[in-house]
Structure 1
């Protein structure tokens, strides 16, 4: 029986911080596994969170919400696909 493909989940979120805490929150986010920062402006940080389950993404978002200086962390988008759907088309360069 073929093995069931792994699911891959990705979400984006906006983290709202005290303006004076944005740098320290960004540093904490960079240290978190599966979290990437895409923009920081005026105390708002746009992040992408990656993981194997929707619950894992929620747990990371909850952890972000608890960071000192964070007012709110709201998921904006979530998407999931089977890992095999990516195949060799994972390239994102403009070759």
Structure 2
């Protein structure tokens, strides 16, 4: 039986607010960032999804986004994490779907 912690997959959604007229340029910048997907942009609000190996990694990405020019705010809305090995609970495989 392995005692190592299972690898986890983290995903979060965030809303990025930008200055008027900067959304198109900012969407392009965000789309080029690793582990960031742009899902919508309207009226200075950009909806993104961030993926990572830890909450800290996603937080660092969100902090980097916050420091981009024309970003007024970048706020995490939702975060989810799960084991990469489905059905593994406390080191034991289960039959649960």
Q: Please say whether Structure 1 and Structure 2 have the same fold, judged by a TM-score greater than 0.5.
A: yes
RMSD: 1.3
**Moved beyond 2 Å, runs of 4+:** 1-5
Q: Which has the higher helix share?
A: 1
Alpha-carbon offset, residue 19 of structure 1: 2.3
Within-5 A mapping of 1:7-86: 7-85=8-86
Alpha-carbon offset, residue 33 of structure 1: 0.4
Alpha-carbon offset, residue 24 of structure 1: 1.1
Q: Could you tell me the TM-score, scaled by structure 2's length?
A: 0.83
Where in structure 2 are there 5+ consecutive unaligned residues?
88-97
Q: Could you tell me the TM-score, scaled by structure 1's length?
A: 0.85
Alpha-carbon offset, residue 31 of structure 1: 0.8
How many correspondences in the alignment?
86
Q: Which residue of 2 aligns with 1:5?
A: 6
Partners in 2 of 1:31 and 1:24 — Cα distance? 11
Per-residue deviation, residues 18-63 of structure 1 (Å, max 9, x unmatched): 1211011111101110000110000100000000000000000000
Q: Name the larger-Rg structure.
A: 2
